[in-house]
Amino acid sequence: MLKLAHLSDPHLGPLPDPKLLQLFSKRILGYLNWRRNRASAMTGNHLEQLVSDIKMQKPDHIAVTGDLVNIALPLEIIGARAWLEEVGESDFVSVVPGNHDAYVPGALKKARTAWLDYMIGDNKEPPTDSDGEAHFPYVRKRGEIALVGVSTARASAPWFATGRVGSAQAQRLRTTLDQLKDEGLFRVVMIHHPPFRKATHWHKRLSDASRVRAVIKRAGAELILHGHTHIDSQAEIEGPNGPVPAIGVPSATNAPGGKKPGARYNLFSIERVNGQWSCRFQERGFTEKGLPISQIADRELLIPRT
């Protein structure tokens, strides 16, 4: 059995003081949003407790599905690298980027360089193209589990938080999922933006979600993990052998008692039983102010038959 922990959207703070020139972009909107809203709602204390609780559960691996930073300042990106090292070694933690990690043009390239060994395949081959696009999807195999990291991160216009996979990456994803299926592995797709229908508001959507759904419909997967919405969610995407569960998790730093759920992570226990996959799904996190982390739910996911 493999235990996989999933957290997302830590939006690490506090936000470093930006230089005036750095705010002459979309960053000014994110900076104001942080000062007015997120600085009080998202605290490092909750994140520290969450990571400590994860380690107490002794998972075999941790998946982080994006938005490590807020407005992608260079100091934020460096700080996120230090945080990842506190969570665990790069072979133990797998990361995909989110829209905040690509907040302005050029930011994603800096983040990819700083966090590369946390979002690179087992072959450890660095990107060969100029912008690293061909780096995704990457694959990490842990026992009978294959972690497939997909990037939806794109710099978007002001007031937008959209993402995009792109046709080339989608084609590579289909080929990768087909190959992993032939190996008989449990395929976990890690992606920031949720690819199911009506997942978010239009200005925050995955613009080519239908392309991703088409890949899953043809090649299949056993589990999809995402972030971005800052809520707990459980949806399904049509696969060749039945619906594929798509599980979202709230922000890993959100304080309880607000509009969005308190900081939370999910723990998946995956094993093959009598030739079929079994996946137990636990939610752990904060439910009310002043209360410690608790187990919120414990259920069995229905995994498509292979």
Domains and CATH numbers, the chain: 2-301 (3.60.21.10)
- Tell me how far apart the terminal alpha carbons of the chain are, to the nearest angstrom: 18
Amino acid letter for position 168 = A
Kindly give the residue spans of alpha helices, DSSP state H, lying in the chain: 27-33, 39-41, 44-57, 74-87, 107-115, 167-182, 209-219
Which of 142, 86, 92, 152 has its CA nearest to residue 117? 92
Q: Give 270's strand partners.
A: 2, 279
32 by Cβ neighbours in 10 Å (0-12 / 13-18 / 19+) ranks as exposed
**β-bridge pairing 145-149 and 264-273:** unpaired
The pLDDT assigned to 88 comes to 98
What pLDDT does residue 54 have? 98
Tell me whether residue 231 is exposed, middle or buried, using C-beta atoms within 10 angstroms of its C-beta: 0 to 12, 13 to 18, 19 or more: middle
d(CA 134, CA 176): 13
Amino acid at 291: L
Question: What's the whole-model pTM score?
Answer: 0.94
Which pLDDT belongs to residue 26? 82
Low-confidence ranges of the chain (pLDDT < 70): 18-24, 30-31, 34-35, 38-44, 126-134, 306
Q: Is 143 left (phi over 0), alpha (psi -120 to 50) or beta?
A: left
Read off the amino acid at residue 63.
A
pLDDT of residue 32: 72
